[in-house]
């Protein structure tokens, strides 16, 4: 019984991650196709309010797999090591880009590009991992026995594209709920085409599962077939609600419908595959750890889940309502409306947008060098720190001899020198000066 409780908590954590971090990954990918720096800045500021809380759920899922279902952990992680490492590096770069973009005056295209590309890479890698697990990973006795590229299958590639489409749909729904003006209108226009794409890829992946999954899916069992039919019906109903809600008020309706469709899709997948976790034959019971470990895990993680959930709810409550443009760097509020329009007597909305664009361009001109060089330097610095830490801890196995204490010291001093030099250039450009209203 305890093993199924651990399995349920894993599904809860993964579902919460797909729902919460999925929409901000989708917004990051959408920013790649938006030409307005003002809207891109809005996207980044909107995600900066909750991205760290959203990603907490994937940590809980990893801990639950490690202690509750160790055979799954031992099979899946070696089998999908490459896309998993790339995903983690993308998440690190994405968090760095969000924070530095939020701290910078105006909009920095370099960090915006890192934010969008890392979001896309993370989404694709997550789809590759999920598709590889559903396709079946070679294993014997709870140990992975396959090769380096066994995760790369036609079904995993389709799953990567499908999950990215789901994230894009969730991102568009969230933007309609949280933004105003042109960002709100654009999200409403994108919603329905993305919904059609998600519906099409869901049908392909659903029927393709019987070909890709090496286990014999028993849809002839009445209970399984009933649960699957109910989940599919709920997902279809939520899709219809989202279709009607995009571009119409209330703005929260599309995101609520998309969230319901995502939950129903996860339940449909579980109904089709349970109790097998890793096809063709690794079940929940066979993958479970000792009873004592599971009991300890459930007490520890069970007490953490309400805390993480409370953190998410508190962040939602604090940042409820529509996104508001933060004050400009010079201490004055960001312009939200222009001079009166003589033809209507009302404000000219385009003037405020133009002022924001001018402010963004001026701030970008104060950057500490060409944006390509800035992005390249900071990305390489981040990757250097991650690589040094991984090699020194022998994460990759058998390569710890490549870097010793002297190498760690040299890399650390070099990184510190580059960081200090970059900060001194930024200080000389006046980027650390407080606005007059804050002095």
Rounded to whole angstroms, the Cα distance separating 326 from 28 reads 19
Rounded to whole angstroms, the Cα distance separating 60 from 88 reads 15
How is residue 351 written in tokens? 């003037």
CB-count exposure of residue 148 (10 Å: 0-12, 13-18, 19+): exposed
Residue owning tokens 């890709």 = 212
Show the domains of the chain with their CATH numbers: 2-318 (1.20.1630.10), 367-432 (no CATH)
Query: What Rg value do the Cα atoms of the chain yield, rounded?
Result: 24
pLDDT at position 391, please?
64
Helix/strand/coil (H, E, C) string of the chain? CHHHHHHHHHHHHHHHHHHHHHHHHHHHHHHCCCCCHHHHHHHHHHHCCCHHHHHHHHHHHHHHHHHHCHHHHHHHHHHCHHHHHHHHHHHHHHHHHHHHHHHCCCCCHHHHHHHHHHHHHHHHHHHHHHHHHHHCCCEECCEECCCCCCCCCHHHHHHHHHHHHHHHHHHHHHHHHHCCHHHHHHHHHHHHHHHHHHHHHHHHHHHHHHHHCCCCCCCCCHHHHHHHHHHHHHHHHHHHHHHHHCCCCCCCHHHHHHHHHHHHHHHHHHHHHCCEEECCCEEHHHHCCCHHHHHHHHHHHHHHHHHHHHHHHHHHHHCCCCCCCCCCCCCCCCCCCCCECCCCCCECHHHHHHHHHHHHHHHHHCCCCCHHHHHHHHHHHHHHHHHHHHHHCCCCCCCHHHCCHHHHHHHHHHHHHHHHHHHHHHHHCCCCCCCHHHC
pLDDT at position 431, please?
55
- The pTM (predicted TM-score) of the whole model is 0.75
Q: Which residues touch 122 (CB under 8 Å, ≥6 apart)?
A: 25, 87, 90, 91, 94
Q: In this structure, are residues 243 and 192 in contact, taking their beta carbons and an 8 Å threshold?
A: yes
How is residue 365 written in tokens? 């001109």
Q: Compute the half-sphere exposure of residue 425: CA atoms within 13 Å on the CB side of its CA.
A: 12
Q: What is the pLDDT along the chain (439 residues), one digit of tens a residue?
A: 778 888 888 899 999 999 988 998 999 999 999 888 888 888 888 888 878 778 888 888 888 888 888 888 888 888 888 899 999 999 989 988 888 888 888 888 888 899 999 999 999 999 999 999 988 888 887 778 888 888 888 999 999 999 999 999 999 999 999 988 888 899 999 999 999 999 999 999 988 887 877 677 776 778 888 888 999 999 999 999 999 999 888 999 999 999 999 999 999 988 888 888 888 878 888 888 788 878 888 888 878 888 888 888 888 888 888 876 655 544 444 443 334 444 434 444 444 444 444 444 444 444 444 555 656 666 777 777 777 766 666 555 555 555 666 666 777 777 777 777 776 776 676 655 545 544 4
Helix/strand/coil (H, E, C) string of 181-192? HHHHHHHHHHHH
pLDDT at position 378, please?
66
pLDDT at position 330, please?
46
Rounded to 5 degrees, φ, ψ at 429 are -80, -5
Q: In this structure, are residues 257 and 242 in contact, taking their beta carbons and an 8 Å threshold?
A: yes
Rounded alpha-carbon distances, angstroms, from residue 187 to 253, 255, 321, 422: 13, 11, 16, 37
Q: In this structure, are residues 106 and 329 in contact, taking their beta carbons and an 8 Å threshold?
A: yes
């Amino acid at each position: 019984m305890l093993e199924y409780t651990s399995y349920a908590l894993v599904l809860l954590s993964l579902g919460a991650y797909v729902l919460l971090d999925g929409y901000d990954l989708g917004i990051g990918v959408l920013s790649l196709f938006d030409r307005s720096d003002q809207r891109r800045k809005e996207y980044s500021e909107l995600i900066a309010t909750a991205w760290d809380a959203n990603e907490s759920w994937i940590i809980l899922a990893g801990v639950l797999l490690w202690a509750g279902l160790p055979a799954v952990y031992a099979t899946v992680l070696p089998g999908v090591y490459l896309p998993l490492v790339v995903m983690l590096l993308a998440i690190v770069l994405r968090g760095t880009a969000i924070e530095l973009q939020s701290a910078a005056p105006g909009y920095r295209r370099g960090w915006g590009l890192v934010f969008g590309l890392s979001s896309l890479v993370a989404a694709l890698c997550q789809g590759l991992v999920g598709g590889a697990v559903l396709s079946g990973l070679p294993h014997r006795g709870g140990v992975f026995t396959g090769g380096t590229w066994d995760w790369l299958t036609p079904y995993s590639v389709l799953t990567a594209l499908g999950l990215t489409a789901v994230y894009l749909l969730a991102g568009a729904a969230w933007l309609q709920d949280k933004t105003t003006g042109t960002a709100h209108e654009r999200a409403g226009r994108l919603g329905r085409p993305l919904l059609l794409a998600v519906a099409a890829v869901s049908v392909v992946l659903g029927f393709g599962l019987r070909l890709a999954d090496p286990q014999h899916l028993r849809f002839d069992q009445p209970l399984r077939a009933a649960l699957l039919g109910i989940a599919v019906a709920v997902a279809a109903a939520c899709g219809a609600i989202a279709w009607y809600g995009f571009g119409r008020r209330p703005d929260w309706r599309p995101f609520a419908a998309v969230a319901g469709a995502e939950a129903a899709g996860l339940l449909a997948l579980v109904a089709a595959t349970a109790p097998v976790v890793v096809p063709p034959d690794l079940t929940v019971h066979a993958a479970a750890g000792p009873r004592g470990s599971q009991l300890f895990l459930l007490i520890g993680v069970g007490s953490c889940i309400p805390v993480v959930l409370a953190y998410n709810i508190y962040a939602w409550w604090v940042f409820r309502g529509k996104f508001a443009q933060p004050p400009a760097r010079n201490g004055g509020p960001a312009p939200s409306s222009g001079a009166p329009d003589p033809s209507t007597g009302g404000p000219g909305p385009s003037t405020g947008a133009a002022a924001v664009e001018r402010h963004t361009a001026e701030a970008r001109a104060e950057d500490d060098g060409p944006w390509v060089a800035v992005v390249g330097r900071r990305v390489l610095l981040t990757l250097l720190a991650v690589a040094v830490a991984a090699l020194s801890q022998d994460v990759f196995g058998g390569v710890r001899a490549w870097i010793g204490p002297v190498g760690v010291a040299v890399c650390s001093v070099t990184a510190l020198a580059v960081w200090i030099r970059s900060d001194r250039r930024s200080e000389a450009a006046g980027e650390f000066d407080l606005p007059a209203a804050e002095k």
